[in-house]
Chain A
Amino acid sequence: MSASNPSVSLSKANNAGRTIKPSIWRVMRKYWVFYVMMLPAIVVLVINNYIPMFGTLIAFKDVNYQKGIWGSDWVGFSNFKYLFSTETAWIITRNTLLYNTAFIVLTLVISVAFAIMFNEMRNRLLSKFHQSAMFLPYFLSWVVVSYLVYGFLSNEHGFINQTVLPFLGLKPIEWYSQSQYWPIILVVVKIWKEIGYTTVIYMAAIIGIDHEYYEAALIDGASKWQQIRKITIPLISPVIIVMTLLQIGRIFNADFGLFFQVTRNAGALYSTTQVIDTYVYQTFLAIGDIGMSSAAGLVQSVVGFTLIYLSNLAVRRISKDDALF
């Protein structure tokens, strides 16, 4: 799941101020069933999440399978020095940040606009129908989306090269080897796929607004625009702010499927399509350079953690209920 739901709050402490803290063993004895219940998930979390967290230390090693991963030599920050001495490091960072910024801004503007428009539609059934149609792309995997894009952009047979451009009297374009077009293509594809989901979340927020505000505004002679600007947007702003901050917290994590599948991982496009996640995949599994890829991965994790922490601080200032922790 990409979009995260702002309402799941973790700050609900309802501890009725215990004075005496029972010993940990007593609690475990009394609640042993709970521990058994939680065991399967704990095992999965330890293997899938916690061991890899400690495993990030291999970024400081020169991994050599003969010596074993833990037997390899410590090399301090040399992997990072290599990484940042390459031009690629800056390109992938730039691409990741620019794409994610575009996604955040456009998703927000378009989905709020769509949600308001849906809310004003007088025909309920039609509104439901259009919401459903918009939700369809969300169900498709990135592999399927890459087929759809290929159907339009394929060099020899694509609908655009074979039908649209000749009709306009233009020459065909080699889409999969011309990097300058991809920022626009990728932004359009990403928005197309995710917008149904975010629109539904904003619609839920708008439906929750008390109707009396609008009735009062109508009596005061407010126009639709004024109502939207002065009532709707301010009242859903907590949801907007939380959603946006959560996305800012993930600004260093690119959507691997989008950049890997939709571009068909074409090397000619890397200058505008390679992001941190695809770079880590490429250097690790295709080239086998553990040092570089683990260093890039660790930088991504640490920066990501810092950003999430800071954006959560910001959420807490705005609305304590919506804070994550």
Chain B
Amino acid sequence: MSVTTETADGLILRPGKVLKRQKKPNDISGISNLLINIFFWIYSALCIIPLLLVIIVSFSNEDAVLRNGYSFFPKQWDTSSYEFLLKDYKQILDAAAVSLFVTVAGTILSLLIMALYAYPISRSDFPHKNFFAFFMFFTMLFNGGLVPWYLVYTRMVHLKDTLWILIMPLLVSAFFVMLLRTFFANTIPPALIESAKIDGASELRIFIRIILPLSLPVLATVGLFQTLAYWNDWYLSLIFISPDGHVNLQYLMYKTMLNVQFLTASPQAMAALAAQGVEIKLPTETVRMAMAVIGIGPIVFVYSFFQKYFIQGLTVGAVKG
């Protein structure tokens, strides 16, 4: 009998063993447990395998791909697609810089703007709070649709082809403002605000020194979702950015999907290849997938570190405060 310790909810901790509940009367039978396990193994594989295909193709030899199609077991490994992209790095670097800047600036700005709006409408002593809550909420119910929205940004405020157009439309999400408001209203004791006021703190000071530090969990959740929204956005680029403007990574991937030649728009890469006396033959299929891998990389990285906070944030939001 090895050393075991039993935790409060019947978890058995054996040194060197997985965390496993002891079979309790209401547990499912071993055979159903096995079936559920097998099912989920298969489903998890289905969630990961498609990504693997793209990664494997990007490391395959172009000729082998042209002969046998995309395959999980390429006949020849090859990194020439990445070498090609390295020669043509400028376009990718530009796009990555646009994506990074828009994501960082957009996330910080939108968190700030939304929190600044959510705090007043969370204060029960603010007489106009219901009006402003509705002013925010109504945008969830009715929207003007693509056409007038497009005309406002192109013909009234003239933001077409600027970086600002990639940031502004996603700045305020009514849903997140409501989430922040609920959090501020339910978790920060009004007495705390009262006493700070008595001590002579200004509203802004209360907001910065008391509200924000106490709301880190919800700010982190909203911040993560906004980061994801900015990084993954291609729609705004599709509509407002001309192909020779500030394209971001997602848009570059979209263009590469339709036409790999879009990547080779840079004359210097062509010149570099020509100077080496290389006959210009673009490894189209593998380069396309290599471009995808470069675009997917950061998000998979973020996913592997932060997915548990996303899941926690969702569950916190789902349980009524």
Contacts and interface: CB of A to CB of B under 8 A. Distances in A.
B311 A124 contact: no
A40 B54 CA distance: 42
Interface string A101-128: 0000000000000000100111111100
A204 B128 contact: no
A120 B36 contact: yes
B19 interface: yes
Contacts of A162: 68-71
Given A120-B36, A144-B295, A154 B135 contact: no
B171 A123 contact: no
Contact of B285 (A49, A157, A305, A309): A157
A320 interface: no
Interface residues of A, number: 118
Contact of B132 (A38, A53, A133, A136): A38
A280 B146 CA distance: 7
Given A129-B44, A144-B296, A117 B39 contact: yes
A143 B250 contact: yes
21 contacts: A7-B319, A38-B121, A41-B136, A44-B113, A48-B171, A53-B144, A54-B144, A56-B145, A132-B311, A135-B311, A136-B51, A136-B300, A141-B231, A154-B69, A157-B66, A162-B71, A204-B319, A290-B147, A294-B148, A300-B145, A325-B134
Interface of A: 1, 4-10, 12-16, 18, 21-22, 24, 27, 31, 33-34, 37-38, 40-42, 44-45, 47-56, 58-59, 69, 117, 120-126, 129-137, 139-144, 146-152, 154, 156-159, 161-163, 192, 196-197, 200-201, 203-205, 207-208, 214-215, 218, 224, 227, 239, 256-257, 261, 264, 277, 280-281, 284-285, 290, 293-294, 297-298, 300-301, 304-305, 308-309, 321, 324-325
Given A122-B27, A218-B26, 12 more contacts: A41-B114, A47-B152, A49-B139, A59-B147, A120-B36, A123-B21, A139-B302, A152-B50, A256-B235, A257-B234, A257-B235, A290-B147
